[in-house]
Structure 1
Amino acid sequence: MTDTKRLRIAIQKSGRLSTDCQNLFKQLGIKLNLREQKLIAHSTNMPIDILRVRHNDIPGLVMDGVCDLGIVGENELVEMQAERQRLSLPSKVNKLAKLDFGYCRLALAWPQELGLIDKNWFQDKKIATTYPAILSEYLTRENISASLVNLSGSVEVAPRAGLADAICDLVSTGATLEANGLMQGETIMESYACLIQSPTLDCSNKSALIEKLLPRLKAVKQAKESKYIMLHAPKARLKEICDLLPGTGQPTMLALAGSDEIVALHMVSQETLFWETMESLKQLGASSILVMPIEKMME
């Protein structure tokens, strides 16, 4: 019998997004008893159950209140919302956070032998896709009249098989498109994984647990985007050095033994171009520059 007081979170059963979700749970301090063949995993330190399902089932499970939370790609969420609206089924969710993993993009592609083309080429053509709602919205916005061929997989083979003139599919590196003789075109949607909540959630204990997890989620994201910097800096160039390192607060300055002109500077910075930045810091007289990752950070 299912304990309805436990928070239920739906994630992808397998694949890169599943691995990213499991890593996130670990960073959030959620301990899980995961087994490869089991579709439900129970947390051993929090009242949380993880349901491992197909990625395109996650939005519906959250919309219907079967699961309280879900982690799903924005592309899947938008497509499922459009489909359920068409069928007059519940389609609302509360989007709690956009995550920093699961990036992909939905792009148009066509046979390489056609070379470069413009949007007018798609008029009255057949386009194969797994995301008809997103593609339809794009075509309407661009005033393009085209026929859609709905496929659940292997969209890349559609032009060679004579099923369509072009495709609209998820692209990461573009290697799959190239291997199937296709040229990559315009990106019509960029997508990240997002955390969604059921609008029917009505449990104070579950809501309190979510409110506890959200600051942790924010802290994990901030830690990934930041670095801890330690360096020796000449006092005369402190302002210029700090301007190179946008931080989350004021830096800590410590006196160095035997020197009145140089201080030790410690700070958290969100700067990402560290090789170039370190070289600029050196030109300003900084030395002993250390850049370290941050595991956890809470303001």
Structure 2
Amino acid sequence: MLRIAVQTKGRLNDDTMRLLTEAGIKLSIGKRNLLVASQTFPLELLFLRDDDIPQAVADGTSDVGIVGENEFVEKQKDAELVKRLGFSHCRLSLAVPKEAEYQGLNWFAGKKIATSYPEILSEFLRKNAIKANIHVISGSVEIAPSIGLADAIFDIVSSGSTLITNHLREVEVVMQSEAVLIKNTALSNDKQAILDELIFRLETIQNSADKKYLLLNAPNDKLSEIVAILPGMRSPTVLPLAQAGWSSVHSVIDEKHFWEVVSKLKAAGAEGILVLPIEKMIP
């Protein structure tokens, strides 16, 4: 049985539970359950605060964990980052009062900066030879300048709306963050095998994200041109149609390139273009 630590509540929890469900891991979770076993996979979930997960994984209380990269880097615990998961994106940034005449990092010299991430901030200031005073706050960092506790803040930013509400503006992005999968450095072979299967399932889900399955009909004398337009895992699949002189072409494309690719295909003579969603894609 592999034990995985996840956030008790919040956006990271919601995204994590959605991902595990897509991976075929079924769980029955009650309101007061802190440890829940799956009925379909040799895995149990341990619910913890986000900032407690790196320590739990490092000391073996949990075998693996899904945690914000910002917390993993800040806590500096002896655990291994296994995989970036591609959700719960945010950034750690420096922000100043919107009326401040900010002209560069030297503005922070001698200033007091409020943050919940003193280790990451200290390292950033050290690398940039900036001497500032760090004031550690466990929550509501954004109000520190308005009540006179600090001159600026260093905190998580997602949309930036919280900064605007508190009359602050983002001036320096220090770190990009997302959900990551971390593991204990002394995982047994049996637990590593379970983790490998879990990673395989997660990668299968990630491979299908933002991709579409494309089918079209093409005249044979245009096949070379049309195939050259289409990306694919290796190359497009081409099958003969019952109508002489025509073929069916199948491929996978990124959704972000969809309209650009379809326009080129139509111009090259493709017809009957059909686009389907992809639930899972195994490389």
Query: Which range, TM-score by smaller chain?
Result: over 0.9
Which residue is 1:150 aligned to? 136
- The whole-number CA distance in structure 1 between the counterparts of 2:141 and 2:10 is 19
1:104-162, Cα deviation, whole Å (9 max, x unpaired) = 10111111112553212111111111111111111111111111111111111011111
Asked whether the equivalents of residues 93 and 198 of structure 1 are also in contact (C-alpha less than 8 Å), the reply is yes
Cα drift, residue 73 of structure 1: 0.9
Q: Which runs of 5+ in 1 are unaligned?
A: 1-5, 82-90
Residue 169 of structure 1 corresponds to which residue in structure 2?
155
Query: After alignment, is 155-164 or 280-289 more displaced?
Result: 280-289
Letter in 2 for 1:141: K
Quote the Cα distance in structure 1 between the aligned partners of 2:81 and 2:57: 11
Partner of 2:197: 212
Per-residue deviation, 1:13: 0.6
Q: What pairs up with 1:184-203 in 2 under 5 angstroms?
A: 184-202=170-188
Q: 1:23 aligned to 18, 22, 42, which one?
A: 18
Aligned to 1:244: 229
Against the structure 1 CA distance between its residues 293 and 207, is the aligned structure 2 distance closer, same or farther, given a 3 Å change threshold?
same
Question: How many Å apart are 1:244 and its aligned residue?
Answer: 3.5
State the Cα RMSD in Å. 1.7
2:2 and 2:170 map into 1 onto residues whose CA distance is 42
Corresponding position: 1:258 with 2:243: yes
Secondary structure of 2:209's match?
A: helix
Letter in 2 for 1:257: A
Residue 267 (structure 2) pairs with residue 288 (structure 1)? no
Q: Pick from 2, 7, 20 the counterpart of residue 12 of structure 1.
A: 7
Match status 1:69 vs 2:64:
yes
Shift of 1:71: 0.3
Deviation at 1:271, TM superposition (A): 5.6
Structure 1 stretches of 4+ with a deviation exceeding 4 A read none
CA distance in 1, matches of 2:224, 2:242: 22
- 2:57 and 2:218 map into 1 onto residues whose CA distance is 52
Q: TM-score, normalised by structure 1?
A: 0.89
Residues 234 and 257 of structure 1: CA distance in aligned 2, closer, same or farther (over 3 Å): same
Q: Percent identity?
A: 46
Q: In structure 2, give the amino acid aligned to 1:224.
A: A
In structure 2, how many angstroms separate the alpha carbons of the residues matched to 1:220 and 1:255? 31
Is the Cα contact below 8 Å between 2:106 and 2:130 reproduced in 1?
yes
Corresponding residue number in structure 1 for 2:31: 36
Summarize the Cα distance change of 1:240–1:57 in structure 2 as closer, same or farther, 3 Å threshold: farther
Alpha-carbon shift at residue 283 of structure 1 (Å): 2.0
